[in-house]
Copies of this chain bind each other. A is one copy, B any other.
Amino acid sequence: MYFQAIKTEGLAQITYILGSEGEALVVDPRRDADVYLDVLRRQGLRLRYVLQTHRQEDFVEGTSALARIAGAQVVAGRHPITGHADVRMGERERLHLGALTLVALHTPGHTPESMSWAVYLDPHHAQAWGVFTGDALFAGETGRTDLAAPERVYENAALLFDSLHQKVLPLGDQTLVFPAHGAGSVCGSGIADRELTTLGFERLHNPVFTSSRSDFIQRKVQERLHRPSYFSRMEEANIRGGVPLSADSSATPFLEPKRFQWASHSGLVLDAREPESFAGGHIPGSLNVWMQGLSVFGGQMVQPGTPLFLVLPAHADSKEAVLALARVGLDQVEGILTGGFGAWRNEGLPIESSGTLTPEALFSQMEGFQVLDVRERSEFERGHIRSARHAYVTELEECLSELGLREDHPVAVVCSTGHRSGLATSILLRNGFQLVSNVLGGMSAWRRLELPVRTGSPSEVEFEQATRSMGTEEQDASPPSPS
């Protein structure tokens, strides 16, 4: 028996490879499938099936492409909205792989077609060894119920509760749970960071099993999660089983500074360096999206079709950067800056810089700054700087006019550590702001320094007043919460 989980950083996505007696299946592959093929070859396994739990929303699948390359069959459920599949399996139908048996379980709720696949080691499939749960069940969390049909969150939540209680939980406490995402995914707000889990452990700790049906539904209905705009494009691609990689990353041209400058006029420059590097100097007009954020924030900030030009931390990052974008369907990287920002700098080409601030520095001169918090609303509500305005980073550009920020006055941008605020900094610069500073370390550092925070929703904050009186009201600020 062979088993391996392969994570995709940035997306917090997990693909599984299961093998037995020379045969293998892969569950929910991403587009760049070389890593799977390499494992199969090293283990001497022949890929027979590519198994789908559901149509993914947050990345482009490699389902069809992998199946075609490896001569395998795509296996999915029977729900009508399921895309292409070579084998469609009905409830409790069995799939054999070497000495293993998988049993199909329809577990709708996150999406209507969601399947879970129980794995049995014995031919009698008396007791499950594990279960692939897709986005139905995560560690400590369940899948979102607002995606497929936002107006039907209530029904979806009920469906999910029933699916998990009636089909998955009965597999038994001993069953290993293999979800499609780990902590950090945009597909669930509270995914626990435990690397492995079991049904027994989830039964004791997962809200879907520790809450009553009505409480669970209530919780899901109240859940307010950001829906990244690129999800609909992903779904569209995945209805066809995803899209093969158009070309390998080695074909992306490296452009010397002047050609990069010339070519990038027709597109968008993404600068994937760390936020303090971006602040120290960057190409005017570039967007600062750090390496690990390229998939999720690239997916949200970039219009499909916009030619992309990359400034990277190091030459060695080029393959990963191009793939991170391709995983969310952004195939249009048309150039990478040869020699990185250093080469641009040495050519005497135009450079823009922005400010950085430490939390202490901001705190000690609070009246000098308009503070902008660009974290998710739920993070903001759990604790923010008193005078902070709020706009989620990916929505900043469209709601900029409503925020009432003055372009010619200093703005301090804050998130949890500095990455999203780096992106927001670059958005503000592109929109004409001149004095933008990124608060390095963000609210994470702010709290460690035990500086005052307040809780509550943005609407309760009276910005103007807060700004005016900031100097005198610190003493009544809510005490810092432990990090």
A residues near B (Cβ < 8 Å) are 1-4, 22, 34, 37-38, 40-42, 44-46, 69-71, 121-122, 126-127, 129-130, 172-176, 193-205, 248, 250-251, 253-256, 259, 273-282, 313-316, 318, 338-343, 345-351, 353, 355-356, 358-359, 417-418, 440-442, 444-449
Name which of A40, A127, A196, A281 has the most chain B CB atoms within 10 A of its CB: A281
Could you give 10 example pairs across A and B, Cβ below 8 Å? A40-B254, A71-B253, A176-B176, A275-B280, A277-B280, A346-B441, A346-B442, A347-B441, A348-B359, A348-B445
Tell me, in angstroms, the Cα distance from A346 to B414 when the chains sit together: 12
Please, which residues of chain B bring their CB within 8 A of the CB of A351? 356, 358, 440-441
Please, which residues of chain B bring their CB within 8 A of the CB of A282? 276
Closest 10 CB pairs of A and B: A174-B200, A348-B445, A276-B280, A280-B280, A173-B173, A276-B281, A277-B277, A348-B448, A3-B195, A279-B280
A38 to chain B, nearest CB (A): 8
Tell me, in angstroms, the Cα distance from A129 to B196 when the chains sit together: 9
CB closest residue in chain B, given A422 = B280
- Our pick among B44, B71, B349, B440 for the contact of A345 (Cβ within 8 Å) is B440
Name which of A38, A202, A254 has the most chain B CB atoms within 10 A of its CB: A254
Name which of A195, A280, A341 has the most chain B CB atoms within 10 A of its CB: A280
Please, which residues of chain B bring their CB within 8 A of the CB of A448? 347-348
CB closest residue in chain B, given A4 = B195
Tell me, in angstroms, the Cα distance from A193 to B314 when the chains sit together: 25
- Our pick among B173, B256, B348 for the contact of A174 (Cβ within 8 Å) is B173
Given A259-B46, A280-B356, A316 and B313 contact (CB-CB distance below 8 Å):
no
Tell me, in angstroms, the Cα distance from A304 to B442 when the chains sit together: 38
Known: A278-B280, A347-B441. 11 other contacts (CB 8 A): A3-B195, A34-B250, A46-B255, A46-B256, A122-B205, A127-B205, A174-B199, A176-B201, A198-B198, A342-B418, A346-B418
Please, which residues of chain B bring their CB within 8 A of the CB of A313? 313-314
**Is there contact, CB below 8 Å, between B196 and A130?**
yes
**Is there contact, CB below 8 Å, between A338 and B44?**
yes
Tell me, in angstroms, the Cα distance from A196 to B174 when the chains sit together: 11
**Is there contact, CB below 8 Å, between A417 and B346?**
yes
CB closest residue in chain B, given A100 = B194
Please, which residues of chain B bring their CB within 8 A of the CB of A194? 1, 3, 121, 129
Given A69-B251, A276-B280, A449-B348, A127 and B201 contact (CB-CB distance below 8 Å):
yes
A100 to chain B, nearest CB (A): 10
Tell me, in angstroms, the Cα distance from A162 to B316 when the chains sit together: 48
Please, which residues of chain B bring their CB within 8 A of the CB of A34? 250
CB closest residue in chain B, given A140 = B121
CB closest residue in chain B, given A359 = B348
CB closest residue in chain B, given A69 = B251
Tell me, in angstroms, the Cα distance from A254 to B372 when the chains sit together: 35
Given A343-B44, A358-B351, A174 and B195 contact (CB-CB distance below 8 Å):
no
**Is there contact, CB below 8 Å, between B196 and A173?**
no
- Our pick among B42, B130, B273 for the contact of A315 (Cβ within 8 Å) is B42
CB closest residue in chain B, given A442 = B346
Please, which residues of chain B bring their CB within 8 A of the CB of A444? 346, 348
- Our pick among B42, B203, B253, B441 for the contact of A348 (Cβ within 8 Å) is B441
A206 to chain B, nearest CB (A): 11
Please, which residues of chain B bring their CB within 8 A of the CB of A4? 195
A481 to chain B, nearest CB (A): 14
CB closest residue in chain B, given A176 = B196
Tell me, in angstroms, the Cα distance from A301 to B348 when the chains sit together: 28
CB closest residue in chain B, given A281 = B276
Please, which residues of chain B bring their CB within 8 A of the CB of A343? 44
**Is there contact, CB below 8 Å, between B198 and A200?**
yes
A51 to chain B, nearest CB (A): 17
A18 to chain B, nearest CB (A): 9
Please, which residues of chain B bring their CB within 8 A of the CB of A253? 70-71
A274 to chain B, nearest CB (A): 6
Tell me, in angstroms, the Cα distance from A71 to B313 when the chains sit together: 25
CB closest residue in chain B, given A316 = B316
Please, which residues of chain B bring their CB within 8 A of the CB of A417? 342, 345-346
Tell me, in angstroms, the Cα distance from A193 to B253 when the chains sit together: 27
**Is there contact, CB below 8 Å, between A345 and B418?**
yes
Tell me, in angstroms, the Cα distance from A446 to B193 when the chains sit together: 49
